[in-house]
Copies of this chain bind each other. A is one copy, B any other.
Amino acid sequence: MNEAALRLLLDQIAAGNLGPAAALERLRHLPFEDLGFARVDHHRQLRQGAAEVILGQGKTPAEVAAIAAAAAVHAPNLLVTRADPAMFDAVAAALPDAVWHPRPRAITLERAPRTRGRGTVMVVAAGTSDLPVAEEAALTADLLGGPVDTLYDCGVAGIQRLLAELERLRAARVIIVAAGMEGALPSVVGGLVAAPVIALPTSVGYGASFGGLAALLGMLNSCASNVSVVNIDNGFGAGFVAASINRL
Contact = CB atoms under 8 A, between A and B. Distances in A.
A223 B11 CA distance: 39
Given A58-B128, A156-B188, 10 more contacts: A57-B129, A157-B188, A159-B163, A184-B184, A201-B207, A203-B207, A217-B217, A217-B218, A228-B237, A228-B238
A62 B129 CA distance: 15
Contacts of A1: none
Contact of A31 (B163, B211, B221, B238): B163
Contacts of A76: none
A4 to B, nearest CB: 10
Contacts of A194: 43-44, 47-48, 244
Interface string A207-248: 111111111111111111111111111101110110011001
Instruction: Say whether chain A's binding surface is mostly helix, strand, loop, or mixed.
Output: helix
A94 interface: no
**Max count, chain B CB within 10 A of own CB: residue among A44, A129, A173, A198:** A44
Given A58-B128, A208-B221, A241 B226 contact: yes
Contact of A208 (B57, B59, B217): B217
A222 B182 contact: yes
B32 A223 contact: no
A164 interface: yes
A182 B248 contact: no
Nearest to A144: B225
Contacts of A206: 57, 231-234
B157 A187 contact: yes
A23 interface: yes
A161 interface: yes
23 contacts: A3-B24, A14-B14, A14-B20, A32-B160, A37-B164, A41-B158, A57-B129, A119-B248, A156-B156, A156-B191, A157-B190, A157-B222, A157-B223, A184-B218, A195-B244, A208-B212, A208-B217, A213-B217, A214-B217, A227-B230, A227-B241, A245-B245, A245-B248
